[in-house]
């Protein structure tokens, strides 16, 4: 049964990889994708078996005016009595004159596949708010008969719109000889919420598709662990590919590197502090021509997990939770 399940996922992932090629950028991008499943996949909710919360701050393309700044907060927990999980994700993204806020509540049903692992089937519901508020400037000699600056009907005024938003996701994980394999398949903006502005052309938020997978492999020297992973993001037209590997020492200290195809090489480092608090930082170095116009991107992440037992009260984890 385990072999058939793995083969099915492999065939599914291969089909999607063959279908996609290029680069996608409407939803924000992250360097800490391995910590950010809740933002893109509601099927992940409750998969850690603990209450977990994390936050990410990303400043992209430092030194470039109007470049994206992203803040995201996620929290989720298992509901063991009904084999489920629940979570929340709040995202704030600013780029140029555009500001977006996305709030989602997630629910996942966790299907136990015995020796073949568990499969989370999730939905999230919420709202998407997008606002445009620009400081438009014209030359002094461009005035009308009333000595007022000309207005361009193609330039949107200050506006803000809300729309219902919905995501769907599958998240699978299984232990293979004491090593962990996980894989996720999800889509955001399932209903392609319409956010049409009066004068601008912003008709909808495109549906995005995400494919993620990773493997935890304990090296012969058991204090060392290798964790390769990848993510493919697509809006159906253009795509992005992230290939990552992290090296962990004694489940406490780790370094990693990510290659984002045709865009950047990302360097990651983190540590688990007392009380199971994980702090990490990443720096992205552009490898395309855009590197001449910015100082790279920086991302900071913090995560905290703890178990809740009805018999013993709250108790903290004793291992790093990278999912």
Question: By three-state DSSP, how is residue 146 classified?
Answer: coil
Query: Could you tell me if residue 316 is inside a domain?
Result: no
Query: Could you tell me if residue 171 is inside a domain?
Result: yes
If pLDDT is split at 50, 70 and 90, which confidence band does 90 have? very high
User: pLDDT (tens digit, 9 = 90+) per residue, 142-185?
Assistant: 555 555 554 555 555 567 778 899 999 999 999 888 889 999 99
If pLDDT is split at 50, 70 and 90, which confidence band does 275 have? confident
Neighbours of 94 (CB within 10 A): 16
pTM of the entire predicted model: 0.80
CA atoms of 231 and 59, how far apart (whole Å): 20
What's the token pair of residue 273?
């502090």
pLDDT at 79: 94
What letter would DSSP give residue 199?
Answer: S
Domain around 111: 2-251
Number of structural domains the chain divides into = 1
Query: Could you tell me if residue 280 is inside a domain?
Result: no
Exposed/middle/buried for residue 129 (C-beta within 10 Å: 0-12, 13-18, 19+) = middle
Query: Could you tell me if residue 185 is inside a domain?
Result: yes
What's the token pair of residue 304?
């905290």
CA atoms of 255 and 269, how far apart (whole Å): 4
Query: Could you tell me if residue 124 is inside a domain?
Result: yes
């Amino acid at each position: 049964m385990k072999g058939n399940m793995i083969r099915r996922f492999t065939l599914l992932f291969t089909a999607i990889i063959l279908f996609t090629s290029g680069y996608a950028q409407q939803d924000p991008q992250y360097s800490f994708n391995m910590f950010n499943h809740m933002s893109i996949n509601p099927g992940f909710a409750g998969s850690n078996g603990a209450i977990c919360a994390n936050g990410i701050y990303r400043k992209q393309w430092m030194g470039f005016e109007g470049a994206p700044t992203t803040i995201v907060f996620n929290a989720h927990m298992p509901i063991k009595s009904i084999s489920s999980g629940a979570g929340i994700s709040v995202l704030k993204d600013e780029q140029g004159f555009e500001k977006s806020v996305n709030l989602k509540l997630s629910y996942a049903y966790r299907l136990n596949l015995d020796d073949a692992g568990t499969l989370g089937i999730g939905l999230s519901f919420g709202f998407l708010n997008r606002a445009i508020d620009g400081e438009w400037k014209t030359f002094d000699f461009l005035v009308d008969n009333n000595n007022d600056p000309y207005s361009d009907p193609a330039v949107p005024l200050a506006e803000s719109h809300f729309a219902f938003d919905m995501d769907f996701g599958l998240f699978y994980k299984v232990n293979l000889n004491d090593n962990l394999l996980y894989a996720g398949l999800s889509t955001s903006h399932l209903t392609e919420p319409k956010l049409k502005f009066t004068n601008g052309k912003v008709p909808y938020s495109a549906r995005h598709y995400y494919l993620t997978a990773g493997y935890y492999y304990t090296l012969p020297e058991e204090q060392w662990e290798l964790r390769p992973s990848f993510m493919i993001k697509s809006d159906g037209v253009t795509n992005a590919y992230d290939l990552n590997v992290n090296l962990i020492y004694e489940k406490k200290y780790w370094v990693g590197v990510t290659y984002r195809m045709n865009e950047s090489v990302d360097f990651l480092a983190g540590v688990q502090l007392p009380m199971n608090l994980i702090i990490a930082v990443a720096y992205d170095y552009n490898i395309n021509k855009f590197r001449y116009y910015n100082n790279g991107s920086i991302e900071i992440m913090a995560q905290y997990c703890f178990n809740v037992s009805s018999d013993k009260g709250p108790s903290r984890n004793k291992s790093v939770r990278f999912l």
